[in-house]
Structure 1
Amino acid sequence: MTDFSVANFRDYQEYVRSFTIIEDFRYLPGHKTVTTLAKLGYREHRTFYEEDEFHNAKKQVEQLLNPTVSAIVEYSLYFKGTDQALRALAEREHLNIQQEISTIIFLEISGKSGFAKSGYIDFESSLRNFRFKGPNAVDWRAVFEERKLLRPQQTDIVYYDWRTRRIYTNDNDNYTVVAHAEYGLMFTHKGDHKNIPVTTKKNPFSANVTRYQIKSDLYGFIILYDHHVRKKT
Structure 2
Amino acid sequence: MAGTSPQGKSLDFSVLEYDNYNDYILSFGTVKDNRYLGNRNTTTIIVQLGYRTTKIPYTQEEYRKRVDIALEAIRPKALHSGLFGDGLSPTSTDPVLLGFKSRELLNLNKIISTIAFTSYISTDGSEISGYIDLDMSWRNCIRQALKHTDWTAVFAGRSRLKPMPHHLSYSNPRYNMVRYTDSDNFLVVHHHRFGLMFMHRGDHKMITVGGQTNLYTGNAKRSMVYSPKFGYVVFYDHVVRKKV
Q: Give TM-score scaled by structure 2 length.
A: 0.66
Query: What SS class does the counterpart of residue 106 from structure 2 fall into?
Result: helix
**Residue in 1 that maps onto 2:15:** none
Please, which of 150, 161, 174 is the counterpart of residue 161 of structure 2? 150
In structure 2, do the counterparts of structure 1 residues 98 and 161 end up closer, same or farther at CA, with 3 Å as the change threshold? same
* Structure 1 residues 33-48: aligned runs within 5 Å: none
Question: Equivalents in 2 of 1:195, 1:208: separation in Å?
Answer: 7
CA shift, 1:181, in A, is: 0.7
**Aligned CA-pair RMSD:** 2.5
**Residue in 2 that maps onto 1:79:** 88
Question: Equivalents in 1 of 2:196, 2:5: separation in Å?
Answer: 51
CA shift, 1:219, in A, is: 1.2
Q: Tell whether 2:104 aligns with 1:93.
A: yes
* Structure 1 residues 23-172: aligned runs within 5 Å: 64=72, 71=80, 73-80=82-89, 81-172=92-183
Query: What SS class does the counterpart of residue 191 from structure 1 fall into?
Result: coil
Give CA-to-partner distance per residue, 1:119-173, whole Å, 9 cap, x none: 1010000000010111111110110000111111011010000211221000122
**Residue in 2 that maps onto 1:182:** 193
Give CA-to-partner distance per residue, 1:175-198, whole Å, 9 cap, x none: 110111111110000011000000
Indicate the structure (1 or 2) with the bigger Cα radius of gyration: 1
Q: Which runs of 5+ in 2 are unaligned?
A: 9-68
Question: Equivalents in 2 of 1:6, 1:76: separation in Å?
Answer: 28
- Identical columns (%): 36
Q: Give TM-score scaled by structure 1 length.
A: 0.69
Task: Give the 4+ runs in structure 1 shifted more than 4 A.
Answer: 4-8
Question: Equivalents in 1 of 2:148, 2:122: separation in Å?
Answer: 20
Question: Equivalents in 2 of 1:114, 1:6: separation in Å?
Answer: 51
Count how many residue pairs are aligned between Structure 1 and Structure 2. Answer: 174
In structure 2, do the counterparts of structure 1 residues 117 and 7 end up closer, same or farther at CA, with 3 Å as the change threshold? closer
